[in-house]
Amino acid sequence: MALLIFDSGFGGLSIQQAMKQRYPELLIHQFADHAHLPYGTKSPSFISHRLTTVVPQLIQKLEIDTVVVACNTASTHALSELRQRVRQPVIGVVPAIKPAAQLTHCNHIVVLATTATVNSTYTQQLIDDHASSIKVTLVAADGLVSFAEEKIVLGHIDTTQLSKYVAELIAGISEFDTMVLACTHFPLLKEELSAFLPNHIRLIDSGDAVARRLSDVAPSQSSRVAPATFISSAPLSLTTHDAIKRFGFDQVELL
Ligand code: DGL
């Protein structure tokens, strides 16, 4: 079977890594909508239009059996539209508010996400359904998307700048012990964030839960012989091609 991971950029790589860890033989193709990155500051109708236009094209081109919308922003805005459009199973990636609410000891969680995810009614519904008895602070952290993109392209980031940005974001927020990385780009910065944040703050993302979900939705994960392809909607430099191949992709293409 062939899996398609969809994101606005390199964020999908955090989900690809979680999938590879659980299903090392699975054929995974990935799409990054770099021509339209970031999604986090776009309108819901734009995001929905991109998702429902591009995914069906990729399903046909790559003979996809299952789709993972590895983007909290796209999932919280357009999952149901996409499910109506394609016959393949579609797995969404949404903010891990439920597990975070179960883990917090001080009953206060911070959710870092894009502006669009912070403002979505889907996110509010997750809070109402799973975290109504605790305090949830939503923080728009769109700047982290650029740090994560930079890390993939250059192999490193300016950690002083990153910690300054995050310190400003969380300044003045009362005591919390759990932080939800509610954008697939953010787990790519987990190492740097953990080094900077106080030790007692637990970072939660959706990667492993999404990987586990695949076995419910598509029980057979046997591999198929075809090159694992990474497709971007914008041209990428040759150094970036090399960086992507180190994640296990055989080829990089332009859509
Ligand atoms: N990776 C995407 C997410 O999970 C968003 C990044 C962007 O703003 O495009 O929300």
Structural domains for the chain: 2-93+208-254 (3.40.50.1860), 97-205 (3.40.50.1860)
The distance of Cα 67 from the centroid of its chain, to the nearest Å, equals 13
Say yes or no: CB of residue 185 within 6 Å of ligand 1: yes
Tell me if residue 71 is catalytic.
Answer: yes
pLDDT (0 to 100) of residue 246:
97
Gap between the Cα atoms of 12 and 5, Å rounded = 6
Gap between the Cα atoms of 220 and 225, Å rounded = 15
Say yes or no: CB of residue 95 within 6 Å of ligand 1: no
Assess contact for 203 and 177: CB atoms under 8 A.
Answer: no
pLDDT in tens, 27-46: 999 999 999 999 999 999 99
pLDDT in tens, 154-194: 999 999 999 999 999 999 999 999 999 999 999 999 999 99
Q: Helix H segments across the chain?
A: 12-22, 44-62, 72-85, 97-103, 115-118, 121-130, 143-154, 159-170, 190-196, 207-217, 238-245
Catalytic residue among 26, 55, 145, 183: 183
Gap between the Cα atoms of 85 and 218, Å rounded = 19
Tell me if residue 106 is catalytic.
Answer: no
Closest ligand 1 atom to 74 CA? 10
